[in-house]
Amino acid sequence: MASKGFADRLYRGEANLNIVGRRKMWFAIAGALVLIAIGSFVFRQFHLGIEFAGGTQFVIPASVGTQEEAQSAVARAVESAGATEEANIGAAQRVGNGPDATYTVRTAALSQDQASAIKSALVADLKVPAEDISDDRVSAAWGTQVTQQALLGLGIFLVLVLGYLIVRFEWRMAVAAVASLLLDLVLTAGVYSLVGFEVTPSTVIGFLTILGFSLYDVVVVFDKVQENTRGITAGASQTYSEATNLAVNQTLMRSINTGLVALLPVGGLLFIGAGLLGAGSLKDLGLVLFVGMGLGVVSSILFASPMLAALKDREPRIKSHTARVLARRSSARSGDVARGERTRTPNATPSDEVPALAGSTPRPGVRPAAKRSNTRGGGAGNRPSGGQKRR
Amino acid sequence: MHPGRQLAVLGLLFVILYALVFFGAGAKGSVTDRLQPKLGLDLVGGTQATYVASLASNGQPPPQTSMEEARKIIDQRVNALGVAEAEVVVEGNRNIVVSVAGEADDQLKNVGQAAQMRFRKVLKATGDNAAVAANPPTANPSASAVPSGSAAPKPSSSTGAKATAKPSASTGGQGGGEKAPSPSATPSAPAPAPSASAAAPAPVTADIKEQRAAIEKKVGAAAWAAAEKLKDPVDLQTDPTAGIPFKAFGTLTGPEVNALTPEMQFNVPTIGCAEQLDKRPNGAIDAIDQKVVACQSGAKMYLDAAKVIGKDIDTATPQLDQQQGQWVVSLDFTSEGQAKWTALTREAFQPAADDSCVAAAQALSTGATHCLVAVVLDKTVISAPEIQGVLTGQSQITGQFNAVTAKELADQIKYGALPVTFEPAATQSVSATLGKQQLEAGLLAAAIGMGLVAIYAFFYYRLLGTVIFLSLILSGLLTFGALVVLGRTTGFTLTLAGIAGFIVSLGVAADSFVIYFERLKDEIHEGRSARSAVPRAWVRARRTIISANTITIMAAVVLYIVSIGAVKGFAFALGLSTILDLVVVFLFRHPIMTMFANTRAFMSPRVSGLGRAMKRVSTDVKEA
């Protein structure tokens, strides 16, 4: 099992990827993506569904056949009338019972001419008298109020969460976490705007689901960071950034696992929803969740932690500590570099493992064997081992 | 806590929940009926009610802005009925269509009501004698009400009223769709009118003149003239046949009666409540500065101009009055409204000497010493309490309320009056928009997703995967039970979006396992035995899990409080599933793992997937 190289090291949280160290690159990528997203909001806007934008409703007598037939008839009519813009056709609905029952089918807003053309196409297609088919404007079912209130809720939530994270961690972590959440939301919305996916109530609801999920990931990583950096300034073997990077690496497997475990059901939703049924709320939900959660996992690894390290490195205490560590390193023999030191935590117990030093590049193909080597210790312990370190 | 005891608590929770599912919370019907969560509009269809806006006085449909405002208010009212996701749309330019899931019990009956709230002092009262007046015991069929041929339209209106240039554009009839003008700060005292009936001159449009002429033709000039002369209700006590001349008025329709002056409506004995006054068009008596006639349980009341209106109320809440043991709606007025309310109650509590309202109060409730103030909602008097003092604070409306009707009224008052009056049109059943196919696909997607999670868990964590799997099943069962109970008690409906939300939350629930097991791996890395690693990993993982879930619950609570409509339902589902996840984590996973740790197999790499971590631990492990 242990010979799997990277996968195995990943499994044990020893992948040693230098994530935090490349933070400039991540920020540049994030910045570019945000700009693209905002540009897309301005120039492409969003493709709003019937529930938001209102539309046109066709009423067809139920004598024409089944619900599906009514719907496909409207679809054909829309096509034949050459409704240029893609008129999203909603699901048909049967209204009433008995001989007077009708089907209503909603489409995106159409001009009067288009509506008339579709109506005559329907009359010809279904062979019903023209007076039995009516078309009518329908308003948005989702008033602007719903969206406004949802956004207000979002704002209040962000403030509260910021407060909570400040109490639970510290303000820098809170800022980094919320920044990463905002990045997720902006990029998810950007994907929607850019690709032109339809925005329906289901989309908005899915979008709000991302809130909790995205922060969930970040909190787990930061929890680890907090643990690894407790009392870091007391030692002089690791900079804050390196400790953060170690935490990211240690939780990498967990993040990937989380992402997979959460995305599996969503993927099921998306592929079943889109594959079996075509349009519908399943697809809408699956899509927004898939995009948002995927981004959430990535941003918690590549954005939140580097952001935190960037914020922390401005803190005077950490700054001087970093300088001290680097000075010590440059004077030390290179063999020492390979041995990170982690600080003692209150309930640390002696153990003989030597933690990996973040930032030291592992030799490719190195076998993390049971033999304790000097080049790499087993740094998978989430617990800083304060014990007998062999110096 | 001992693991066995935690599992016992969980077991107890299960028993209670499923006892509620099967026997409590209004369970009825067969076993499958009792296991049925309330499904949403998109899955099972429901009921669609259409409300048609009355045309404005100029014959035009109401403006779009008013329709949109009405849509919002109706939306709020419908959603106040529960966490059900209703759909409210404006269709064409006159219809508002409300769709709710499931059977429309009488839920939708009142959401289209204009809910124009008026507080009016009761000036006079009389019995509803329409039946008796038209057919007295000694009925003489050949009444003097022989239609005389003279159909010359006379200038009607005994008050000699002219169309006054009052700011109030409301016609007080014809279902005028204008917004009630906000009242001026000074109570509009009735202008001294030439006639003794002292009616505030109502604006008489040409339209009304026409109607009155038609009515005069219908009832006969003699009856019309007699009715015009009445200063007081015809006294049937002394002369049982006194109502005979007015017999023709008994044939008038609601809208026709509405065209008469309030005095006529009140004084003519053959104009009844149920068949005529209550059938006047919606908005018939919304006019603020006019006296009107309204009914309450068999009594006709002649009411003063509205000194306090719905807009003066800040908020309304249903309350159970402990002393009386009955439901009331308590009102908090706005600061401006409070001043008006105090003035109105003072007027009723200390009426002027020549005020007829005391007599009216005594007629309506024996032993009354002060005047009554009628609380009028749209066309009906919902309550006419005697004012027991000058009220300077919160007040209550009493009436024949139960918990449901009190809440309904409070919601109507709270969300304000509709700017447009509506006539309810047909209520029809509607089919599901998505139907079984989508529901089945959703459940299939859920099954596939959960299957994938389970496979992954087994692959990755070996036997520990069973713990994940069992927990997910438990979460699912708890969630389902909660859905059924909530569907019956709070009307929480499950839409496809909700199902998807729950699917996602199960994935997230599985995630808290990953946190825990990764911790466990780390502990074992460090060379601990399973027995000591499990509690340590638990303590550390618990903190993370609680923090992460706190955030989710926070999101759910904020969204639930702030948002409206579908988002509210979603927030509810999110909070519910998160809390249930925590329950399962604390009461199931932890004790199970503790028990697990005591078995031998737990540490074998084949079984738990933790062994790989063990291999690396060297022989010189020091146990803590």
Domain ranges of chain B: 3-36+434-623, 46-112+424-430, 117-198+306-403, 206-286
Q: Partners of B101 in the beta sheet? A: B46
Domain with CATH 3.30.70.260 in chain A: 55-138
Q: And the tokens for A313?
A: 């490195």
> Alpha-carbon distance B361 to B365, whole Å?
6
**What CATH number was assigned to the domain covering residues B3-36+434-623?**
1.20.1640.10
Per-residue pLDDT reduced to its tens digit, B442-484: 777 777 877 888 888 888 777 778 888 888 888 888 888 888 8
pLDDT beyond 70 at B57: no
Q: Are A283 and A274 in contact (CB under 8 A)?
A: yes
pLDDT band for position B603 (cuts 50, 70, 90): low
Of A268, A381, A383, the CB nearest to B445: A268
pLDDT beyond 70 at B174: no
> Alpha-carbon distance B516 to B470, whole Å?
16
Full DSSP string of A242-269: HHHHHHHHHHHHHHHHHHHHHHHHHHHH
Q: Which residue of B has its CA nearest to A102?
A: B430
pLDDT band for position A166 (cuts 50, 70, 90): very high
Per-residue pLDDT reduced to its tens digit, A4-15: 567 677 666 666
pLDDT beyond 60 at A374: no
Whose tokens are 């994907």? That residue is A191
**What CATH number was assigned to the domain covering residues A55-138?**
3.30.70.260
Contact criterion met (CB < 8 Å) for A202 and B543? no
If we measure between CA atoms, which residue out of B269, B212, B214, B266 comes closest to residue B244? B269
For residue B268, the tally of other CB atoms under 10 A from its CB is 30
pLDDT beyond 70 at B193: no
If we measure between CA atoms, which residue out of A63, A253, A297, A337 comes closest to residue B612? A253
Contact criterion met (CB < 8 Å) for B552 and A140? no
Q: Which residue of A has its CA nearest to B503?
A: A265
Of A138, A349, A368, the CB nearest to B89: A138
Exposed/middle/buried for B485, CB within 10 Å: 0-12, 13-18, 19+?
A: buried
pLDDT beyond 80 at A110: no
Q: B231: which residues sit within 8 A by CB, 6+ positions away?
A: B196, B197, B267
Of B434, B444, B525, the CB nearest to A378: B525
Instruction: Assess A254–B contact: CB distance below 8 Å, yes or no.
Output: yes
pLDDT beyond 50 at A236: yes
Contact criterion met (CB < 8 Å) for B558 and A383? no
pLDDT beyond 50 at A86: yes
pLDDT band for position B601 (cuts 50, 70, 90): low
- H-helix segments, chain A: 6-11, 23-43, 50-53, 67-80, 112-126, 144-168, 171-195, 201-228, 240-277, 281-299, 305-312, 316-331, 334-337
Q: pTM for the full model? A: 0.65
> Alpha-carbon distance A259 to A302, whole Å?
14
pLDDT, mean of residues B14-31? 76
Contact criterion met (CB < 8 Å) for A153 and B620? no
Q: Provide the pLDDT for residue B619.
A: 38
Angle between the B435-461 and B496-525 helix axes, to the nearest 10 degrees? 0
In chain B, residues with a C-beta closer than 8 Å to the C-beta of A266 are 449, 503-504, 507
Q: Which of A110-124, A134-148, A259-273, B194-208 has the lowest mean pLDDT?
A: B194-208
Per-residue pLDDT reduced to its tens digit, B540-581: 888 888 888 888 888 888 888 877 666 777 778 888 888 888
Q: Which of residues 332-361 of B touch A (CB under 8 A)?
A: none
> Alpha-carbon distance A343 to A329, whole Å?
17
Backbone dihedral angles phi then psi of residue B324, each to the nearest 5 degrees = -85, -20
> Alpha-carbon distance B399 to B300, whole Å?
17
What's the whole-number average pLDDT of chain B?
Answer: 73
Q: Provide the pLDDT for residue A175.
A: 92
pLDDT beyond 80 at A187: yes
Q: Which of A208-222, A315-329, B165-179, B485-499 has the lowest mean pLDDT?
A: B165-179
> Alpha-carbon distance B443 to A365, whole Å?
45
Classified as helix, coil or strand, B65 is: helix
Contact criterion met (CB < 8 Å) for B445 and A273? yes
pLDDT beyond 70 at A50: yes
Higher pLDDT, B623 or A203: A203
In chain B, residues with a C-beta closer than 8 Å to the C-beta of A153 are 558-559, 561-563, 567, 571
Amino acid identity at B207:
D
Q: Using the CB atoms, write b or e for B552-574: b if 16+ within 10 Å.
A: bebbbbbbbebbbbbbbbbbbbb
Q: A389: which residues sit within 8 A by CB, 6+ positions away?
A: A339, A341, A354
Contact criterion met (CB < 8 Å) for A150 and B75? no
CA distance B429 to chain A (A): 5
If we measure between CA atoms, which residue out of A90, A253, A334 comes closest to residue B511? A253
- Distance from the first to the final alpha carbon of chain B: 23
Higher pLDDT, A370 or A273: A273
pLDDT beyond 50 at B1: yes
CATH architecture label of B46-112+424-430: 2-Layer Sandwich (3.30)
State the pairing for strand pair A47-48/A198-199.
Answer: parallel
Q: Provide the pLDDT for residue B186.
A: 29
Exposed/middle/buried for A322, CB within 10 Å: 0-12, 13-18, 19+?
A: buried
Q: Are A250 and A212 in contact (CB under 8 A)?
A: no
Contact criterion met (CB < 8 Å) for A268 and B621? no
Q: Are B327 and B318 in contact (CB under 8 A)?
A: yes
Full DSSP string of B457-507: HHHHHTTHHHHHHHHHHHHHHHHHHHHHHHHHHT---B-HHHHHHHHHHHH
User: Do B3-36+434-623 and B46-112+424-430 come out as alike in CATH topology?
Assistant: no
Classified as helix, coil or strand, B163 is: coil
For residue B345, the tally of other CB atoms under 10 A from its CB is 24
Classified as helix, coil or strand, B381 is: strand
If we measure between CA atoms, which residue out of B4, B47, B154 comes closest to residue B430? B47
Classified as helix, coil or strand, B11 is: helix
Contact criterion met (CB < 8 Å) for A265 and B503? yes
Instruction: Assess A383–B contact: CB distance below 8 Å, yes or no.
Output: yes
Whose tokens are 């269809």? That residue is B45
Q: And the tokens for B355?
A: 């005020």
State the fold for domain A20-46+142-317. Multidrug efflux transporter AcrB transmembrane fold (1.20.1640)
Instruction: Assess B404–A contact: CB distance below 8 Å, yes or no.
Output: no
> Alpha-carbon distance B95 to B98, whole Å?
10
Instruction: Assess B552–A contact: CB distance below 8 Å, yes or no.
Output: yes
Q: Are B443 and A267 in contact (CB under 8 A)?
A: no
Instruction: Assess B74–A contact: CB distance below 8 Å, yes or no.
Output: no
Instruction: Assess A186–B contact: CB distance below 8 Å, yes or no.
Output: no
pLDDT, mean of residues A351-372? 40
Q: Provide the pLDDT for residue B164.
A: 23
pLDDT over 90 percentage in chain A: 7
CA distance A24 to chain B (A): 28
- Distance from the first to the final alpha carbon of chain A: 30
Of A67, A220, A353, the CB nearest to B526: A353
Q: Are B215 and B259 in contact (CB under 8 A)?
A: yes
Q: Using the CB atoms, write b or e for A54-64: b if 16+ within 10 Å.
A: bbbbbbbbbeb
